């Protein structure tokens, strides 16, 4: 009981600072689309067999997550089109997307001395039910159901991963052989930096490389998706603020960072910053934040009740409710039952939201950023 009271108190407290509105705005923010994770059930089982992944405490990402298929997107769109708010808007996912993945063949040909990436559209060709995914991204954006924004070039810390490969770290190499990079290199003792944290750094001189990652990634995003990304969420959180100018110069107006943001400085040092919704940096980019979660694939609790509680607290403090809901929840390529369970719960969640708050508005993260910027300009 004490833990619940503490949690409720902290969630209320975290919603107090920052931009406010009387409008009841709901945003579904969903990370990881376009990135690889587990390519097949057989590859996962091989990693369990070789003790790269521990079956006893396997994460829901390693259990269910994979590159989204045509069916995954079609099923999600079907649920979203079944609802509208009073303004005629369907619930819409701000899809925080990766635009490239490692080119395993070329990296191996270089004997792990060089890193190469491929557009995610090339990755799609290696999967059996994925030939229409880019078209579905574009369809989702056109219908305001699934609007891609920028998560990074790849969901991978290239420097940390390539270093481990060069050093022939055994479990990193085993995962590589099965087309997998998203293992926990830190807990395995093979990396100081989490492989999934693309913008973390071990040394300050890695920032030059990351500036190029942002330039390449935003350019490829525009080439493939057809418009310029304006919203950015760094993978796994760590992000050095010296990269903000490159984001700004490449079209990014809004940045989602944790309310207690961990900035990597290199050499094992980090600086913590306090963030709140609507805060500006010196480049007039707006910091955004999340204050709700819906992650049913993770199990462990009643995610509908928990999310409704999060939304209630947000609205109590006149804040939009920005719901974190990762791609893994909606992927059925490896296990169709995972997708079915989550979509059923998503449908129930949206029904309850509309019943409890009939005047709710569904919106994307970038449109919320536009709203905050416009109102701030009038002050």
Axis-axis angle for helices 336-356, 70-80 (nearest 10):
20
Contact between 68 and 123 under an 8 Å Cβ cutoff? The reply is: no
Is 80 exceeded by the pLDDT of residue 17?
A: yes
Is 70 exceeded by the pLDDT of residue 3?
A: no
- Residue 188 has what pLDDT? 95
Rounded Cα gap, residues 341 and 294, in angstroms: 13
**What ranges in the chain are assigned the alpha helix state H?**
2-14, 41-49, 60-64, 70-80, 104-109, 120-124, 133-142, 158-166, 170-177, 207-225, 244-249, 303-316, 336-356, 365-378
CB-based burial of residue 151 (10 Å sphere; 0-12 exposed, 13-18 middle, 19+ buried)? buried
pLDDT digits (tens, 9 = 90+) for 324-366: 999 999 999 999 999 999 999 999 999 999 999 999 999 999 9
Is 70 exceeded by the pLDDT of residue 14?
A: yes
Per the DSSP assignment, residues forming a β-bridge with 254 are 231, 286
Mean pLDDT computed over 165-173: 98
Mean pLDDT computed over 14-21: 92
Contact between 31 and 168 under an 8 Å Cβ cutoff? The reply is: no
* Full set of structural domains in the chain with CATH: 2-378 (3.20.20.370)
- Residue 6 has what pLDDT? 65
CA atoms within 13 A on the CB side of 240: 24
pLDDT digits (tens, 9 = 90+) for 190-240: 999 999 999 999 999 999 999 999 999 999 999 999 999 999 999 999 999
Contact between 170 and 161 under an 8 Å Cβ cutoff? The reply is: no
- Residue 10 has what pLDDT? 85
Per-residue pLDDT band at 166 (split at 50, 70, 90): very high
pLDDT digits (tens, 9 = 90+) for 263-295: 999 999 999 999 999 999 999 999 999 999 999
DSSP per-residue string spanning 217-257: HHHHHHHHHSS---EE--TTS---GGGHHHHHHTT--EEE-
Contact between 34 and 369 under an 8 Å Cβ cutoff? The reply is: no
Is 50 exceeded by the pLDDT of residue 379?
A: no
- Residue 376 has what pLDDT? 67
- Residue 9 has what pLDDT? 85
Contact between 358 and 86 under an 8 Å Cβ cutoff? The reply is: yes
């Amino acid at each position: 009981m004490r833990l619940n009271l503490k949690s409720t108190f902290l969630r209320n407290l975290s919603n107090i600072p920052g931009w406010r509105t009387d409008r009841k705005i709901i945003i579904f923010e969903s990370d990881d689309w376009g990135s690889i994770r587990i390519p097949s059930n057989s590859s996962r089982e091989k990693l369990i067999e070789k003790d790269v992944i521990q079956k006893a405490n396997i994460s829901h990402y390693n259990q269910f997550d994979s590159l989204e298929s045509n069916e995954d997107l079609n099923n999600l769109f079907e649920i979203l089109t079944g609802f509208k708010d009073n303004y005629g808007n369907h619930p819409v996912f701000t899809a925080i997307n990766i635009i490239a993945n490692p080119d395993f063949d070329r990296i191996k040909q270089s004997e792990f001395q060089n890193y190469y990436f491929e557009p995610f559209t090339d990755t799609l060709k290696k999967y059996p039910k994925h030939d229409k995914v880019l078209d579905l991204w574009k369809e989702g954006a056109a219908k305001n159901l699934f609007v891609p924004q920028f998560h990074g070039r790849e969901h991978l810390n290239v420097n940390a991963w390539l270093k481990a490969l060069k050093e022939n770290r055994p479990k990193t190499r085993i995962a590589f052989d099965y087309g997998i990079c998203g293992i926990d290199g830190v807990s395995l003792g093979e990396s100081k930096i989490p492989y999934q944290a693309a913008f973390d750094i071990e040394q300050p001189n890695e920032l030059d490389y990351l500036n190029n990652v942002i330039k390449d990634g935003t350019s490829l995003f525009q080439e493939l998706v057809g418009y310029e990304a304006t919203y950015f969420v760094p993978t796994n959180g760590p992000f050095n603020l010296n990269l903000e100018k490159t984001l700004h110069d490449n079209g990014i107006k809004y940045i989602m960072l944790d309310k207690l943001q961990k900035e990597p400085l290199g050499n094992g040092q980090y600086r913590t910053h306090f963030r709140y919704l609507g805060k500006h940096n010196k480049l007039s980019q707006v910091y955004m934040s999340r204050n709700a979660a819906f992650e049913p694939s993770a199990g462990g609790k009643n995610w509908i009740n928990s999310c409704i509680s999060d939304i209630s607290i947000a609205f109590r403090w006149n804040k939009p409710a920005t719901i974190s809901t990762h791609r893994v929840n909606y992927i059925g390529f490896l296990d169709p039952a995972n997708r079915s369970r989550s979509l059923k719960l998503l449908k129930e969640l949206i029904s309850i939201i509309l019943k409890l708050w009939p005047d709710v508005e569904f919106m994307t993260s970038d449109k919320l950023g536009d709203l905050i910027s416009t109102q701030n300009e009038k002050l």
